[in-house]
Structure 1
Amino acid sequence: MNVEQLKQHYMVLSNTQLAKKINVGRTTVWDWEKKGIPPKTQAFLELQTNGAVKADIQLISA
Structure 2
Amino acid sequence: MKPSDLMSHFGCKTRRELSKKTGFSEVTLWKWEKNGIPPRTQATFEVLSQGKLKADLDALTT
Task: Give the TM-score category using the shorter length.
Answer: over 0.9
Aligned residues: 62
Which residue is 2:50 aligned to? 50
Displacement over 2 Å in runs of 4+: none
Which residue is 2:34 aligned to? 34
Residue 10 of structure 1: how far off its partner (Å)? 0.4
CA RMSD across the alignment: 0.8
Instruction: Give, as a single letter, the amino acid of the residue that structure 2 aligns with 1:6.
Output: L
Residue 61 of structure 1: how far off its partner (Å)? 2.0
Identical counterparts, % of pairs = 37
Which residue is 1:18 aligned to? 18
Where in structure 1 are there 5+ consecutive unaligned residues? Answer: none
Residue 19 of structure 1: how far off its partner (Å)? 1.0
Return the alpha-carbon distance in structure 2 between the equivalents of residues 19 and 48 of structure 1.
16
Where in structure 2 are there 5+ consecutive unaligned residues? Answer: none
